[in-house]
Amino acid sequence: MIVSLRNSYLKRRKTLKKSLLTVAAVLAAGMFSANAHAVDSTGCGLGSLAWRGQKGPIPQLLAVTTNGTFGNQTFGISSGTSGCDPHGRITGGTGSMALAFLENNMEQFAMDASAGHGETIDTLAGILNVDSEKLGEISKTNFATLFPSDNVDAVDVTVNLLALI
Amino acid sequence: MPIIVFLITILLSFSAWAQTEIYAQDSQWLALLHYQPQLISKDESTIDSDNFFLSPVGKYNPEAELAATIHLFEDTTDNDKKCLFPARYKWLKKKGLISKPFPKCEEWESFYDDIRPAGVTLLFTNAYMNNPASLFGHTLLRIDTARKGTQLLAHGANYGAFTGEQNGLLFAIYGLTGGYFGGFTVKPYYQIVNEYNNIENRDIWELNLNLSPEELDFTMAHLWEIGQTRTSYYFFTENCSYMLLELLDAVRPDLKLSQQFPVHAIPLDTFKAVASRPDFVKGINYRPSRQNKIIYRYKQMNSAQKEVYKDIIKNQNFDYRNLSEQEKAGVIETAYQYVQYQYVAEKLELGDYRKQSFKLLKERNSLGKNDNLKELTEGKNPLQAHESAQTGIGIGNHNGEMFQQINGRPAYTSLLDRSYGLLSGAEINFLNIAARHYDNSNKFVLQNLKIVGITSIFPVDFMFRPISYNIHAELNREMNPETEDEGYVFEIHGGAGGAYALTDNIKAYGFVNNHLGYGGFLPHNSYAGIGPEVGIYADYGKWRLLASAEKVFATSKFADKMKYNAGISFDLNKNMALQLNYKFNDNHGHNEEETMLNWQIFY
């Protein structure tokens, strides 16, 4: 009884302390009202969405990075927001790490592969444990094999890439 | 005999109690449990989850919690529970308060192994003017990785509110009153880079922290502990940035970061506080937004390149004329980034997006490895931005009457303030208050209370078409010129429009504003109005100028006026400026004219 009384008292005091700031920012934020939507799941990465032809979730992705708006996942069980990776963590073997990375970085990898160098090449070289200079060369030379058409998806590219090295 | 046993037991437990009492006040123990001093009561933990406390009174009682934690590790076999508290275990062990080994904990170990920590970096992302929740920027932690490759394979640890579906107003109310629970989430850094750099076009600043291997392990262990918990989320106080400070305090209690922010934690202020701690920072690194990268690349292009580039992105005419191979590569890589930008901004249909992207990729693949453009690697360091709070004193003349003014605000920046390290063209003012003493009438009055004022002036060009806007809620002391009555008017006004860059430093802008006002002394008490406004904003680094004219058409004669405003501000140093303001209002022949010189310090 005493504990619960104390709790409610403390809660009230906390609310009071914040009331002034509350008034100010309710006014501020209320006038915008747009864009503060939250999301439960935001699907996979940007690149994969685009290349797979899923257009809808982009506005949801936009909402993810606002300070307050995140899904309702719990930490360590299904933290993060990726629908591709339920743990929100980089995990698993070479193939699944490469796939998860490409699902999020397809469009940048496409340009880096086309030119033969770049941050995504360096990253994939780390995942695949190969020399990044060499991976750049292989990707550039075999670009048409890696990306045979404009509707290729991350799974195809991963399979093609693993076959090349 | 039983009495002696009883007495010995009492003595022993008393000495154990005395020992726990001392350790319970250890600064690291207090920080590990997130105890914070309260105004009129004993310390209380910020964490609100019951499962974070082993003692029923643990939220308020460090000693009881310490005794319960020692009991858990020494006297029980509840490994599931032990696995929730690896940092407490490390601390107890270091202090010699326990001797039993830490159990095997699969989930905690796989968390640690996946993250593969190598260091800790504090990330600051700058303001996102399209969302009220992001006006002040954001901070999150990155656990750097020891994996081969790049730091794209690191993980971000983010503290945020779990909101579910809410509209803006409810979001604001809940966010401000602790109606949401906040908690930590982790995700790969490459996702964070995508979200901030590539989708929202915000810069990321990476502050590499100088932690020992033990401190790094302790960070991981404590992240695991609070990762299982929830806390009431308060937009201004117990927010994303504040909780990171409590986390860092638990790792190194001497930092005393959280106690520096008892009332409000502005992300950039917390970033500066962390950077200011001796021996705590190794370096800072800049990761520009996609938009800034595109602009930087475009500015380097020669005129032939610019022509080809415009023709590609505007007309989808992929004619490279006689550009050299490297010039061509530079154009293609920039155009490719712009196509990605357009798709994210929903200005390009999927089919066109794919076609254009692929065309550029194939063309780029036919060229050599290098292009002729450099990548953007340096930005204006937000650590060098002016401080958030401001106070000023001024003297002026209002319709022939001299006055002295004192003004101040807790946050954040005005268009006329030095913009270095912040977004030039973005104004965010909270609780800006001004009081005046008028000489003739010898009265001291509240002149103006700007509850909130947000202005965003970003120029439209052939690539980017941002909407400029402004929104203000304020209380002003005004005079009804017909009756010469003075009183307070509460006004909400704002509108949207566009801006155009005349040069790199000068922007012209236009708004169509709406006005709603209420004042008890006014005829009909209230008014509504609409006002087209044009203005010029110049930012030359050390000095800024803002001049505007607005014609307000209003339902009340009082508010129906032509308004002219001009201000100029010179920096005396990073945190000190002199500002001169002039205002002239024409209200059906009743003129109001005011000049003021204001000396401002930022702190």
Confidence of residue A6 (pLDDT cuts 50, 70, 90): very low
Residues of A within 8 A of B167 (CB-CB) are 33, 36-37
pLDDT (0 to 100) of residue B506? 98
pLDDT tens figures, B87-131: 999 999 999 999 999 999 999 999 999 999 999 999 999 988 776
pLDDT (0 to 100) of residue B522? 83
The whole-chain average pLDDT of chain A stands at 61
pLDDT (0 to 100) of residue B128? 82
B228 touches chain A (CB under 8 A): yes
Which domains, ranges and CATH numbers included, belong to chain B? 15-102 (no CATH), 110-287 (no CATH), 290-365 (no CATH), 385-602 (2.40.160.40)
Other Cβ atoms closer than 10 A to B495 = 19
pLDDT (0 to 100) of residue A16? 36
Q: Is residue A105 a part of any domain in this protein?
A: yes
Is the pLDDT higher at B424 or at A4?
Answer: B424
- Greatest pairwise CA separation for chain B in angstroms: 107
The whole-chain average pLDDT of chain B stands at 92
pLDDT higher than 60, residue B543: yes
Confidence of residue A56 (pLDDT cuts 50, 70, 90): very low
Do B155 and B115 contact (CB within 8 A), yes or no?
Answer: yes
- The chain B residue lying nearest A113, using CA atoms, is B365
Do A35 and A63 contact (CB within 8 A), yes or no?
Answer: yes
Residue of A67, A107, A138, A147 to mutate, testing the B interface (most B Cβ within 10 Å of its Cβ): A67
pLDDT higher than 80, residue A63: no
Mean pLDDT, residues B587-601: 94
CA distance B439 to chain A (A): 32
Smallest Cα–Cα separation from B495: which of B519, B518, B515, B475? B515
B115 touches chain A (CB under 8 A): yes
Using the beta-carbon criterion (under 8 Å), do B180 and A68 form an inter-chain contact?
yes
Residues of A within 8 A of B329 (CB-CB) are 115
Q: Is residue A48 a part of any domain in this protein?
A: no
pLDDT (0 to 100) of residue A72? 27
Smallest Cα–Cα separation from B496: which of B129, B202, B167? B129
Name which of A90-94, B5-9, B64-68, B228-232 the model is least confident about.
B5-9
Mean pLDDT, residues B449-456: 95
Q: Is residue A39 a part of any domain in this protein?
A: no
pLDDT higher than 70, residue B180: yes
Residues of B within 8 A of A59 (CB-CB) are 346
Segment holding B169, helix H or strand E: helix B168-177
* Calpha distance B298→B348 (Å, rounded): 20
Using the beta-carbon criterion (under 8 Å), do A69 and B161 form an inter-chain contact?
yes
Q: Which of residues 44-73 of A touch B (CB under 8 A)?
A: 45-46, 50-51, 53, 55, 58-59, 61-62, 64-73
Residues of B within 8 A of A93 (CB-CB) are none
Confidence of residue A54 (pLDDT cuts 50, 70, 90): very low
pLDDT (0 to 100) of residue A73? 26
Q: How many domains does chain A have?
A: 2
Mean pLDDT, residues B287-297: 97
Confidence of residue B16 (pLDDT cuts 50, 70, 90): low
Name which of A143-157, B263-277, B296-310, B446-460 the model is least confident about.
A143-157
pLDDT tens figures, B521-541: 888 889 999 999 999 999 999
pLDDT (0 to 100) of residue B167? 58
Confidence of residue A18 (pLDDT cuts 50, 70, 90): very low
Going by the DSSP 8-state scheme, the letter that residue B258 receives in this structure is G
Residues 6 or more apart from B218 whose CB is under 8 A from it?
B87, B90, B250, B251
pLDDT (0 to 100) of residue B389? 96
- The chain A residue lying nearest B357, using CA atoms, is A150
Q: Is the dihedral of CA B111, B114, B119, B120 positive or negative?
A: negative
Confidence of residue B164 (pLDDT cuts 50, 70, 90): low
Residues of B within 8 A of A64 (CB-CB) are 195
Q: Is residue A57 a part of any domain in this protein?
A: no
Confidence of residue B165 (pLDDT cuts 50, 70, 90): low
Q: B138-145 and B590-602: which strand pairing?
A: unpaired
Smallest Cα–Cα separation from B601: which of B391, B412, B383? B391
Do A164 and A145 contact (CB within 8 A), yes or no?
Answer: yes
Is the pLDDT higher at B57 or at A91?
Answer: B57
CA distance B401 to chain A (A): 32
Q: Is residue A38 a part of any domain in this protein?
A: no
Name which of A39-48, B5-14, B68-77, B148-157 the model is least confident about.
A39-48
Residues of B within 8 A of A79 (CB-CB) are 184-187, 227
A101 touches chain B (CB under 8 A): yes
Which of B40, B168, B454 lies at the smallest CB-CB distance from A33?
B168
Q: Among residues of chain B, what percentage have pLDDT more than 90?
A: 79
Other Cβ atoms closer than 10 A to B336 = 25
Using the beta-carbon criterion (under 8 Å), do B184 and A75 form an inter-chain contact?
yes
Q: Is residue A67 a part of any domain in this protein?
A: no
Residues of B within 8 A of A48 (CB-CB) are none
Residue B195, φ and ψ in degrees, nearest 5? -65, -50
Mean pLDDT, residues B202-214: 97
pLDDT (0 to 100) of residue B206? 98
pLDDT higher than 90, residue A10: no
Confidence of residue A144 (pLDDT cuts 50, 70, 90): very high
Using the beta-carbon criterion (under 8 Å), do B147 and A90 form an inter-chain contact?
yes
CA distance B409 to chain A (A): 12
Confidence of residue B360 (pLDDT cuts 50, 70, 90): very high
Confidence of residue B230 (pLDDT cuts 50, 70, 90): confident
Mean pLDDT, residues B15-27: 79
Note down the domain range covering A24.
Answer: 1-33
Q: Is residue A25 a part of any domain in this protein?
A: yes
Q: Which of residues 122-141 of A touch B (CB under 8 A)?
A: 122-127, 129, 136, 140
Q: Is residue A62 a part of any domain in this protein?
A: no
CB pairs under 8 A between A and B: 285
Cis link prior to B353 (omega < 30° from 0)? no
Residues 6 or more apart from B7 whose CB is under 8 A from it?
none
- The chain B residue lying nearest A107, using CA atoms, is B340
Which residues on neighbouring strands pair with residue B492, listed in sequence order?
B473, B516
pTM of the model: 0.87
B498 touches chain A (CB under 8 A): no
pLDDT (0 to 100) of residue B3? 64
CA distance B452 to chain A (A): 6
Segment holding B404, helix H or strand E: strand B401-409
pLDDT tens figures, B32-84: 999 998 877 778 999 999 999 999 999 999 999 999 999 999 999 999 999 99
Confidence of residue B397 (pLDDT cuts 50, 70, 90): very high
A24 touches chain B (CB under 8 A): yes
CA distance B305 to chain A (A): 18
pLDDT (0 to 100) of residue B11? 52
pLDDT tens figures, B488-519: 999 999 999 999 999 999 999 999 999 999 99
Q: Which of residues 565-584 of B touch A (CB under 8 A)?
A: none
Confidence of residue A60 (pLDDT cuts 50, 70, 90): very low
Residue B428, φ and ψ in degrees, nearest 5? -135, 110
